[in-house]
Each structure stands twice: as structure tokens, then as C-alpha cells.
């Protein structure tokens, strides 16, 4: 570290004092693959002398081993710290690097350009105040340039530097630079940026990085570092009234009750009137307690503990606000969502939302549209895939306090978590509550067949197995259930064994009782389909009319008739339970196939042949049918 | 007036610690006695004041730490009235593992990495604070603040949870855990400056003093007890030295120095041309060594 060498050596205390009052800038590099993001950060670290000698010699070794620059050092290797990144020469995950100059301290996030790692770019952008978007001068504005610009804008970054990089490879052509600048500004007009600064650059050679380059005298603007050191990042603070989401209730003993949290906007002083959202309870700030004594005042971004004059009930997740402009509360929102999971987002599914220090169940009730990141057009869609951005309606398990993200980047942001894997699968920004004052009567999210099915990620249906006694219905249904269960489907098997002994134990085997038997089973399976299950009914059900009756109870596509086709002689030969023998001996009356008819289906959805096929093969056949007809691809 | 960068860093660290206290069932603070741990503990005292930090401290004792570190540790825990857990890998002790006899890699694996895993499993901690910083090393620069570990304590660098804003996902399944790094965004200079501003106690090993040392593989090693194997006729020499990091004394190289005050140390740190980890034998192996160790459960 050699900036201000002299002061360090001469007067260390003066140096420390000067350091103490430096301002802070958080930024990120983004843009398309190989545009030189990591190289630029390496260059910044290198030129601001943040690299120690031992690190430099390691870099020289690494460059020979896995660099992309032949004998020259590969500055990207200073940042691409994972083995996989060095092997592939790409960035996979965000790296946070730090450097400082005489004027400012910087945290800079190096983010990956590859589309499949876009979520890692969003991670880096969420905490940044400024984005450096790199563009390869030879390739110009690309899809990823637009995508990253859009995400930066969505996440609330207002200051942009467009680094037109690799100018060394286009002979520092002013014409090229102007073309790219014009194109970028053209499409960025639709985004929410406050300032865009374009700089021609060679990250590799250092032109216009720290100092203005001799190689492009036509450029009259600042070097990147000159700009970063002076850029004004005080965002137009849209929200100035105090709010602090309560993070932790501080109760060391019965005499002290404090509320700890990080101030999300404005400032607070003892004596200020406050209101707690959502309870609406009011009080007055008594003290702002920190370990070094009580504070006279605290402001946005400080982590403090506040005590109140009155004993009111406040818990984690509540927001303590100033009374003049408190946070809103709602349980229905419109929000922007960036999807970050391999498994797509589907309306109807339930996720866990973490927002303002609390977690609540959240269901996307509607995907209003997806955003095409290339032209920012709104497109209809049924789901959001990995790295897609969309505007959704959300319904929460309970009302929460919030601000719109446009007003406050702290109290309007949320993440979505998968209930099973606990992975972070989405990031979102609240727009507004759907329950507006004008809209007093609002629609509760009704829980219906579709919602229940969506929650289970499946398409409910009845698989109705019909066939002679001993044909193999129960065996196949049982095996099928196991397969479906294994792939996470919610199932149930209804068969003679679990129905005849309970629900239908009052029924015998007369024709009337057989009809009633099937009616009850059909009704039960309909309820189960309503509940969202995949039901396997395994009953001889010899009469066409009852099977038709069952089919009529369901909606189209919910009834799948599976004919387990085993000729009488084969079934009788198997006679697993010895029933055919008894029937032939007259010990059982009305036995299907012997002294009661079996009406084979005329148009079954599936016919399984058990003579030449094992039950396992039959299950495979049924699974293939389900797959082909969309029963297994989630909702 | 907006906050200075140190005030912002402090607030961020406190926010992280409170989040763990609020959401995790059984957190612990890994306390390693060095300057980073000292700052981390100081931040914890601030975060929960007037309550005490609602978690114990855990020190993984390799039995080869500087004697002064152990004294410092016990004193501090007593003065602050904090619960201190000390874990030693007794299997390693039985085996007689030490850096002189078994080499640094094996010693560190058994007495540090394995010992840590033993302790975390024994007490069933679901979150463990560590004082690591992103500026220390390339693979650390890639790590999340809330870093997810499998039931086998493994880190999967290619599959980290996105971590946006200051909203941390602390959800885990049974047996899994989180390593939490509240000082991820601090730099070495920030640490020193904060120690200076807040008057934080650190072991005097950081300050230069006359100490008995020998030279081993180009490193100056302090003869902290009689376990240092001396060549026939070899005598430790008294030298004015100090330590930039603290660890197992046989593996921690001293630097010759005259810095006896904090400003002296900071000055020296700023003017030096080598990184602080250079003094650690463990980091030299290969470029990817830290990443590999971390995957295996090293902090
Ligand atoms: N000639 C020239 N080459 C450059 C310049 N900047 C970067 N490069 C080279 O371009 C290649 C890609 O650079 P990186 O820094 O890894 O690109 P990146 O944008 O970080 O790539 P990802 O993170 O994988 O998206 C490397 O071979 C660099 O050496 C430049 O200004 N001029
Ligand atoms: Mg890169």
C-alpha cells in the first residue's frame, strides 16, 4: 500500500485521522462474458498498489500456469479466486475486493458475465451504489449488457459508468467509441439512471483507468478513478422520515426493554414521537442506547437500540416509524421478482418470504408479465425461469409493514426461500399494495382445487384401474404409487381392501350394492382430486355405466381409465387368492367372470397387457402416458 | 452527515450478529484470540448491550498456541463474564500430534480443522461466527457472509446461496450449519484503525519486544516453551520481534520490528510490502489451498 506513503511515514496519527473521514463507495463491475470485468478490478488493485509483493509473485506464477495473456500477467487472476474459475478462465461467483485512494474507500464487487450466473450479478448489485458496465469495443452492446443494465436499474442503482474496454484492440477509435456510447444511451433512456458516464479504456494496459491515457487524446473526460473518487452518490433520498425495522428485542433484565435494529431511513432523537407498524401503537423515544453511553441522535444505516417511554408490545419484524409518514402495511402486493432457481417459479406455489427481519408464507397469485431484457417489452408467461424478471402479484400469510422499493431500498426489498431446500430462489422489490384505500373490498385468495394442486406441484387425476379379479390391478397400482411417491407426488390408492372394510362395509355383492360401491369410491376419489392428489382406484368395476358415471364426476383430463387386460383363463390360472376355485365350487356368488359379467372398456385411456408384461413394465407404460400427457411436469 | 466507512462497517457487523441471535437456535462465536477476534468480540459486546452476547465463545485449542494467548483468553472471558468453551482434539493429543513431529499440514488438519468439526458437532451449534475477512485471501473474497455448510461441514463454492441486500437466509435443515462472517467487508487497515479508535485490547504479542527466537525454514520462530527441538549446541537468540498474526507458535513467523505502540504497528503494517498471511506456513502450499481447506471444513 503506497498511497500517501509520505504521510504514513511522517505522521501516522495524521494519516489515521485523514483515513477516518474518508467517504465510502460500493460499486460493481458487470457486462457480458469476457468484456474484461475481472481484468479491470485486477488493474485497479494493481495500480492503487493494493497488491503485496508475495501476492504479485504468486500472480506471476499463476499467470504462466492458467493465464490468458501468454507471458504477460493476467490481472483477472487476482479476482477469480476459485479453482474452477481459474481453470475455465471465467468468473462464476461474485468476488468482493477492497481498495482505497487518498479520497475514498471502495468495495467493488466483480460479477460474472455468463448468463447462467446472472443471479450472482444481482447479488453484487443489490448493495452497490454505482455500476461499471463493461463493453468490449469490438463487440459493442450485447444482450448481457442490456440485461445487466436492466437489473442494475431495477435494483435501484442510479449511477452508471460505461467502460468501453479493449480500446487497444480497435486502435482507440473515437468513431467506434461514439457509436457504442450512442447505442448505449439510446436504450438506457428507458431505464431509471441518474447519470451515465462513458469512458474509453484498456483494462489490460491501464489506459484511462487510473490516469488519462496518452493513446486517446480525443477523450476529454475523466479517467475511471478520477470519476469514482468524485462521483456524487448521495442517492436522491426519497425517504427521510424515520423507520427502523425491529431486529431483536433486548431484555437483559426486567427493568430494561430495548428494541435493536438498523435504521432504514431518516433520523431519530429522544423525545421523538413514534408509531409501530402494523400494531399502530404510539409512544415516544426515551433513549438511544449504545455501549459507549446514550446517543443524542442516530441516523440511517446506524445499528442502535431504542427504548420507549411506554411499555407497548413490539416484536421482531415490526417497524418503528416516525408518526408523520409511517410505513404502510398490507398482505397483497405487486412486486418485481428476479428468479434465481433452476426450478421455475409458478403462480400458485407457496414460498417463504423474508422481508424486514421476518419470514412469512408468500404465494405468487399471478404473473402479470415477464420483462424481455433486450427490448424491455412486457411478455405474457406462465412461469419465470432462472434469471428471468417478472412483475407478479403476491399474497402473504399475514400483513407486513413495508415501503415501496422505489422509496426505500431497505424496507421494500425481499427474498424468496424454497420451503423444501431452504435455498434462496428469488429476489424481489415491492411496488405497491393491492389493497388500496379505494379498494376496500378486496378479494381474499380463495383456496381451490387449482391452488391446492399448485402447492403440491402436480396435476391431480384419478387413474381408474379396471379388470378381472387377479388381473394385477392392485399390484400395478401399488407399484405406480411408489414410483410417483419417489418423484415427490402426493398420491393415494383406493382399493377393495381399504374401502370394503370401512366406508363400504355395509355393502354386499348384489348388482345394486356393486353400483353403490363404485359410486362411493368415485365420489371419494373426486374429493381427493379436489384436494390435489393423484388417486389410484383399483376396483374390478365390471360395469361400463359406473365407470362412465365416475368419469362424469371429474373434469376433462382428470379421469384416466386403465384397463388391466388379463383374459379370464389366465386370471383363473393364477388365482392368487383362491377365489376362482371357490367361485367355481359355488362357494362365492356373483363372482365377476364366473357368474357375473365383466364389461371390458371400449375406449380405455391405457390398456396394459399382463400376459406378456411384468407389472414393472406396466408401470413404466403408465408413467410414460402420464409424462406424455403432462401429468408429471409440474402445474 | 453521513456515516464514515468505519461506522458503516460497524453497523453492518452488528446487524449480522443480531440476525444470528434472532434466528439461529444455538450460535457460537469462534474466538481465536487474534486481533480480528478481538474486534469481533468488541462488536458483539456493542451489538447486544446492555445484554451480554447471547452465545458462548469457542476456542479450538491446538495445544500449540502461544502461552500468552491462553492467558489473555482466560483473563478476558473472566473480566467480561462470558461463557468460554475450549475444545481440544484429544485423539490428536493421544497420538502426540504436533507441528514439529507431524508437519504443519497434518497438525493443522487434526488439531484445528478436525477439532473444530468435533466441537461443532459435539455442541450441535447451528451457526458459528468467524472473524475472517474477504481481503485476506482470494477464496475468502468469494464467500458469502452467511456461508452454508452441509452436515459434513463442507463448503460448496460453486453453489452458494445468492445473498442480496442485508437480508440473510438463515434457514437450514437438521445437521446443517452456517458459518457467519460479520467482518467480511473489513480490511486489515480497517481492523487496525478500529482497534486504535476504540481502544481494543489485543495480546502484547502484536507489539515488538525482546523475545527468544530461532530460525526455521526462513521463518523466525519464537521459543515459547521447551517443545522446540534445538540443534546440538543451538541457543535461542533474543531479538526485538512482533507478530502480524497469531496462531500456533511453531507455525507463526515473527517479524523483526521496533513497533511498540499501536500507531507504530499500523505504520509498519501500511509500509510493509508483504501480505499478513505470508507469515503463516499454512497458506503457502498452493494457490487453491485455502479453497480446498475450506471445502473440507477449515474455517
Ligand atoms: N486486449 C485487451 N484484452 C483485454 C482487456 N481487458 C481484458 N482483456 C482480456 O479479455 C479476457 C477476458 O477478461 P476477464 O477480465 O476475465 O473478463 P470478464 O469480463 O471478467 O469475464 P467473466 O467474468 O467470465 O464474464 C482476458 O483474456 C483478458 O486478458 C483489454 O483492455 N484489452
Ligand atoms: Mg470476470
* Each residue's pLDDT expressed in tens, for chain B with a length of 299 residues: 578 889 999 999 999 999 999 999 999 999 999 999 999 999 999 999 999 999 999 999 999 999 999 999 999 999 999 999 999 999 999 999 998 889 888 999 999 999 999 999 999 999 999 999 998 888 888 899 999 998 888 888 888 999 999 999 999 988 899 999 999 999 988 999 999 999 999 999 999 999 999 998 888 999 998 888 888 888 899 999 999 889 999 999 999 999 999 999 988 888 876 665 455 544 444 445 677 776 776 66
- Which has the higher per-residue pLDDT, A16 or B52? B52
The predicted structure's pLDDT at residue A122: 94
Question: A514, A523, A510, A499: which is closest to A545 by C-alpha?
Answer: A514
C-beta atoms surrounding B101 within 10 Å: 12
Give me the mean pLDDT over the A594-604 stretch. 89
Contacts of A105 in chain B (CB under 8 A): 5
Q: Is the pLDDT of residue A251 over 50?
A: yes
Give the three cell numbers for residue A131: 455500476
The predicted structure's pLDDT at residue A391: 96
Give me the mean pLDDT over the A500-516 stretch. 81
Indicate whether residue A112 lines ligand 1 (CB < 6 A): yes
d(CA A287, CA A255): 14
B138–A79 CB contact, under 8 Å: yes
C-beta atoms surrounding A323 within 10 Å: 14
Give me the mean pLDDT over the A596-616 stretch. 90
d(CA A306, CA A276): 13
Alpha carbon A524 to its chain's center:
37
Q: Is the pLDDT of residue A443 over 50?
A: no
DSSP output for B7-67: HHHHHHHHHHHHHHHHH-SSEEEE--SSHHHHHHHHHHHHHHTTSPPSS-EEEE--S-B-H
B137–A415 CB contact, under 8 Å: no
Please name the member of B8, B12, B273 whose beta carbon is closest to the beta carbon of A52.
B273
Contacts of B264 in chain A (CB under 8 A): 12
A258 touches chain B (CB under 8 A): yes
Question: A634, A191, A272: which is closest to A456 by C-alpha?
Answer: A634
The kind and range of the H/E element at A356 are none
Residue A239, CA atoms < 13 Å, CB-side half-sphere:
27
Question: A32, A372, A375: which is closest to A189 by C-alpha?
Answer: A375
DSSP for residue B276: G
d(CA B112, CA B106): 10
Residue A282 CA: distances (Å) to CA of A269, A274, A275: 15, 6, 4
Phi, psi of A283 (to 5 degrees): -160, -170
- Model confidence band, residue A578 (pLDDT cutoffs 50, 70, 90): confident
Interface of A with B in 84-123 (CB under 8 A): 84, 86, 92-98, 100, 105, 107, 119-120, 122-123
The predicted structure's pLDDT at residue A228: 95
B169 touches chain A (CB under 8 A): yes
> Would you say A273 and A310 are in contact if contact means Cβ atoms under 8 Å apart?
no
Least confident of A247-251, A530-534, A593-597: A593-597
d(CA A356, CA A360): 11
Cis ω before A574 (30° cut-off from 0): no
Q: Which distant-in-sequence residues (6+ apart) come within 8 Å of A156 by Cβ?
A: A235, A405, A406, A409, A429
For the annotated catalytic residues of A, the residue numbers are: 541
Alpha carbon B248 to its chain's center:
11
Residue A374 CA: distances (Å) to CA of A55, A144, A336, A391, B266: 40, 9, 17, 16, 50
- Edge-first strand listing for the sheet containing B127-129: B84-87, B57-60, B27-30, B127-129, B177-180, B146-149
Packing angle, helices B5-23 and B188-198, rounded to 10:
90
Our separate counts of H helices and E strands in chain B read 10, 10
Q: What is the dihedral of CA A236, A241, A242, A243, to 10 degrees?
A: -80
Q: Is the pLDDT of residue A10 over 90?
A: no
B158–A19 CB contact, under 8 Å: no
User: Mean pLDDT in chain A?
Assistant: 89
d(CA A81, CA A91): 9
Give the three cell numbers for residue A530: 379436489
Give the three cell numbers for residue B250: 511453531
Residue B250 CA: distances (Å) to CA of B88, B101, B165, B238: 18, 11, 42, 17
The predicted structure's pLDDT at residue A501: 82
Report the alpha-carbon angle A474-A476-A479, nearest 5.
105
Q: How does pLDDT run across A263-296, given as a tens digit for each residue?
A: 999 999 999 999 999 999 999 999 999 998 899 9
The predicted structure's pLDDT at residue A237: 62
3-state helix, strand and coil shares in percent for chain B, rounded to the nearest 5: 40, 15, 40
The predicted structure's pLDDT at residue A635: 45
Q: Which ligand is nearest to the CA of A42?
A: 1
DSSP output for A200-223: E-BTTTTBTTSS--TT-TT--S--
- Edge-first strand listing for the sheet containing A23-31: A95-100, A104-110, A23-31, A130-136, A159-165, A195-200
> Would you say B27 and B55 are in contact if contact means Cβ atoms under 8 Å apart?
yes
**Closest-approach residue (CA) in chain A for B171:** A422
- Residue B296's Cβ-count burial label (10 Å; 0-12, 13-18, 19+) is middle
Residue A175 CA: distances (Å) to CA of A167, B133, B234: 11, 44, 72
Residue A237 CA: distances (Å) to CA of A241, A464, B271: 10, 63, 39
Give the three cell numbers for residue A574: 393364477
B174 touches chain A (CB under 8 A): no
> Would you say B293 and B283 are in contact if contact means Cβ atoms under 8 Å apart?
no
pLDDT over 90 percentage in chain A: 57
Pocket residue to mutate for ligand 1, from A28, A31, A39, most atoms within 8 A of Cβ: A39
Give me the mean pLDDT over the A97-120 stretch. 89
Q: Which residue has the cell 431446500?
A: A421
Query: Could you tell me which residues of A are annotated as the binding site for ATP?
Result: 467-474
Minimum distance, in Å, between the CA of residue A165 and any CA atom of chain B: 24
- Which has the higher per-residue pLDDT, A385 or B217? A385
The predicted structure's pLDDT at residue A269: 96
Partners of A288 in the β-ladder: A306
Give distance in angstroms: CA of A233 to centre of ligand 1: 27
d(CA A350, CA A356): 19
d(CA A442, CA A269): 39
d(CA A521, CA A504): 9
> Would you say A608 and A618 are in contact if contact means Cβ atoms under 8 Å apart?
yes
Q: How does pLDDT run across A316-341, given as a tens digit for each residue?
A: 999 999 999 999 999 999 999 999 99
ipTM of the complex: 0.91
> Would you say A289 and A306 are in contact if contact means Cβ atoms under 8 Å apart?
yes
The predicted structure's pLDDT at residue A4: 54
d(CA A271, CA A285): 5
The predicted structure's pLDDT at residue A195: 94
d(CA A426, CA A416): 5
Give me the mean pLDDT over the A393-401 stretch. 91
Q: Is the pLDDT of residue A22 over 70?
A: yes
Give distance in angstroms: CA of A89 to centre of ligand 2: 8
Q: How does pLDDT run across A300-311, given as a tens digit for each residue?
A: 999 999 999 999
> Which residue of A10, A81, A317 to mutate against B (max B Cβ within 10 Å)?
A81
Minimum distance, in Å, between the CA of residue B214 and any CA atom of chain A: 23
Mark out the alpha helices in A418-502 (DSSP H runs).
Answer: 449-455, 473-486, 496-500
B4–A289 CB contact, under 8 Å: no
Minimum distance, in Å, between the CA of residue B258 and any CA atom of chain A: 14
- Residue B227's Cβ-count burial label (10 Å; 0-12, 13-18, 19+) is middle
B1 touches chain A (CB under 8 A): yes
Give me the mean pLDDT over the A139-153 stretch. 94
Amino acid at each position: 500500500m503506497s498511497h500517501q506513503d509520505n504521510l504514513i511515514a511522517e505522521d501516522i496519527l495524521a494519516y489515521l485521522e485523514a483515513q477516518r473521514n474518508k467517504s465510502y463507495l460500493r460499486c460493481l463491475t458487470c457486462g457480458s462474458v469476457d468484456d474484461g470485468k475481472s481484468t479491470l478490478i485486477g488493474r485497479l488493485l494493481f495500480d492503487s498498489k493494493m497488491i503485496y509483493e508475495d501476492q504479485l509473485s504468486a500472480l506471476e506464477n499463476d499467470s504462466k500456469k492458467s493465464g490468458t495473456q501468454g507471458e504477460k500477467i493476467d490481472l483477472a487472476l487476482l479476482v477469480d479466486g476459485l479453482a474452477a474459475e481459474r481453470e475455465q478462465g471465467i468468473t462464476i461467483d461474485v468476488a468482493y475486493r477492497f481498495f482505497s485512494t487518498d479520497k475514498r474507500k471502495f468495495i467493488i464487487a466483480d460479477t460474472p458475465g455468463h448468463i447462467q450466473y446472472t443471479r450472482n450479478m444481482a447479488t453484487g448489485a443489490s448493495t452497490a451504489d454505482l455500476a461499471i458496465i463493461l463493453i468490449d469495443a469490438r463487440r459493442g452492446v450485447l444482450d448481457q449488457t442490456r440485461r445487466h443494465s436492466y437489473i442494475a436499474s431495477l435494483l435501484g442503482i442510479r449511477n452508471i459508468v460505461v467502460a468501453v474496454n479493449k480500446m487497444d484492440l480497435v486502435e482507440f477509435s473515437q468513431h467506434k467509441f461514439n457509436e457504442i456510447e450512442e447505442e448505449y444511451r439510446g436504450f438506457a433512456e428507458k431505464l431509471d439512471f441518474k447519470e451515465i458516464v462513458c469512458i474509453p479504456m484498456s483494462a489490460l494496459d491501464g489506459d484511462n483507468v487510473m490516469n488519462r491515457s496518452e493513446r486517446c487524446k480525443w477523450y476529454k473526460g475523466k479517467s475511471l478513478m478520477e470519476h469514482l473518487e468524485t462521483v456524487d452518490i448521495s442517492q436522491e433520498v426519497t425517504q427521510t422520515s424515520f423507520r427502523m425495522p425491529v431486529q431483536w428485542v433486548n431484555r437483559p433484565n426486567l427493568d430494561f426493554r430495548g428494541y435493536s435494529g438498523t435504521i432504514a431511513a431518516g433520523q431519530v432523537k429522544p423525545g421523538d414521537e413514534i408509531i409501530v407498524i402494523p400494531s399502530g401503537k404510539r409512544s415516544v423515544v426515551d433513549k438511544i442506547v449504545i455501549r459507549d453511553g446514550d446517543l443524542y441522535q442516530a441516523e440511517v444505516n446506524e445499528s442502535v437500540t431504542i427504548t420507549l417511554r411506554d411499555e407497548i408490545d413490539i416484536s421482531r419484524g415490526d417497524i418503528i416509524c416516525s408518526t408523520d409518514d409511517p410505513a404502510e402495511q398490507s398482505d397483497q402486493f405487486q412486486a418485481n421478482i428476479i428468479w434465481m432457481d433452476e426450478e421455475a417459479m409458478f403462480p400458485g406455489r407457496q414460498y417463504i418470504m423474508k422481508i424486514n427481519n421476518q419470514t412469512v408464507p408468500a404465494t405468487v397469485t399471478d404473473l402479470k408479465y415477464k420483462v424481455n431484457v433486450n427490448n424491455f417489452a412486457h411478455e405474457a408467461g406462465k412461469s419465470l425461469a432462472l434469471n428471468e424478471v417478472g412483475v407478479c402479484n403476491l399474497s402473504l400469510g399475514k400483513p407486513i409493514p413495508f415501503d415501496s422499493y422505489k422509496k426505500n431500498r431497505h424496507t421494500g426489498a425481499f427474498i424468496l426461500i424454497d420451503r423444501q431446500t431452504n435455498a434462496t430462489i428469488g429476489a424481489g422489490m415491492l411496488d405497491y399494495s393491492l389493497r388500496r384505500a379505494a379498494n376496500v373490498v378486496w378479494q381474499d385468495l380463495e383456496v381451490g382445487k387449482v391452488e391446492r394442486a399448485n402447492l403440491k406441484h402436480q396435476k391431480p387425476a384419478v387413474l381408474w384401474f379396471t379388470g378381472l379379479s387377479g388381473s394385477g390391478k392392485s399390484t400395478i397400482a401399488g407399484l405406480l404409487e411408489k414410483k410417483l411417491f419417489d418423484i415427490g407426488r402426493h398420491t393415494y390408492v383406493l382399493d377393495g381392501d381399504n374401502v370394503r372394510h370401512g366406508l363400504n362395509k355395509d355393502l354386499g355383492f348384489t348388482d345394486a350394492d356393486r353400483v353403490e360401491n363404485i359410486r362411493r369410491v368415485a365420489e371419494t376419489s373426486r374429493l381427493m382430486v379436489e384436494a390435489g392428489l393423484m388417486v389410484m382406484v383399483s376396483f374390478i368395476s365390471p360395469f361400463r355405466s359406473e365407470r362412465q358415471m365416475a368419469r362424469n364426476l371429474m373434469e376433462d383430463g382428470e379421469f384416466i381409465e386403465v384397463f388391466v387386460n388379463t383374459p379370464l383363463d389366465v386370471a383363473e390360472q393364477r388365482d392368487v387368492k383362491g377365489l376362482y376355485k371357490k367361485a367355481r365350487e359355488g362357494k362365492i356368488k356373483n363372482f365377476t367372470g364366473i357368474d357375473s359379467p365383466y364389461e371390458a372398456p371400449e375406449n380405455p385411456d391405457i390398456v396394459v397387457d399382463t400376459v406378456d408384461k411384468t407389472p414393472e413394465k406396466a408401470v413404466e407404460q403408465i408413467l410414460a402416458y402420464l409424462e406424455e400427457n403432462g401429468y408429471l411436469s409440474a402445474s | 452527515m453521513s456515516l464514515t466507512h468505519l461506522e458503516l462497517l460497524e453497523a453492518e457487523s452488528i446487524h449480522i450478529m443480531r440476525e444470528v441471535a434472532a434466528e439461529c437456535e444455538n450460535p457460537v462465536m469462534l474466538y481465536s484470540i487474534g486481533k480480528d477476534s478481538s474486534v469481533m468480540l468488541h462488536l458483539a459486546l456493542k451489538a447486544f448491550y446492555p445484554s451480554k452476547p447471547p452465545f458462548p465463545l469457542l476456542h479450538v485449542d491446538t495445544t500449540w498456541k502461544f502461552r500468552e494467548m491462553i492467558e489473555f483468553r482466560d483473563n478476558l472471558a473472566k473480566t467480561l463474564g462470558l461463557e468460554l468453551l475450549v475444545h481440544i482434539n484429544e485423539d490428536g493429543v493421544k497420538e502426540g500430534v504436533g507441528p514439529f513431529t507431524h508437519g504443519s499440514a497434518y497438525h493443522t488438519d487434526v488439531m484445528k480443522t478436525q477439532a473444530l468439526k468435533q466441537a461443532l458437532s459435539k455442541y450441535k451449534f447451528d451457526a458459528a461466527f468467524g472473524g475472517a475477512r474477504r481481503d485476506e485471501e482470494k477464496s475468502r473474497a468469494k464467500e458469502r457472509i452467511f456461508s452454508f455448510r452441509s452436515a459434513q461441514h463442507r463448503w460448496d463454492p460453486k453453489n452458494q446461496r445468492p445473498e442480496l441486500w442485508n437480508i440473510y437466509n438463515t434457514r437450514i435443515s437438521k445437521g446443517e450449519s452456517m458459518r457467519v462472517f460479520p467482518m467480511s467487508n473489513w480490511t486489515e487497515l480497517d481492523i487496525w484503525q478500529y482497534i486504535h479508535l476504540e481502544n481494543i485490547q489485543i495480546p502484547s504479542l502484536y507489539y515488538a519486544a525482546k523475545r527468544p527466537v530461532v530460525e526455521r525454514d526462513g521463518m523466525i520462530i519464537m521459543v515459547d516453551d521447551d517443545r522446540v527441538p534445538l540443534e546440538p549446541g543451538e541457543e535461542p537468540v533474543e531479538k526485538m520481534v512482533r507478530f502480524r498474526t497469531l496462531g500456533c507458535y511453531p507455525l507463526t513467523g515473527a517479524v523483526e520490528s521496533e513497533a511498540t505502540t499501536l500507531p507504530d504497528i499500523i505504520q509498519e503494517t501500511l509500509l510493509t510490502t508483504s501480505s499478513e498471511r505470508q507469515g503463516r506456513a499454512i497458506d503457502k502450499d498452493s494457490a487453491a489451498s485455502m479453497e480446498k481447506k475450506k471445502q473440507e471444513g477449515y474455517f
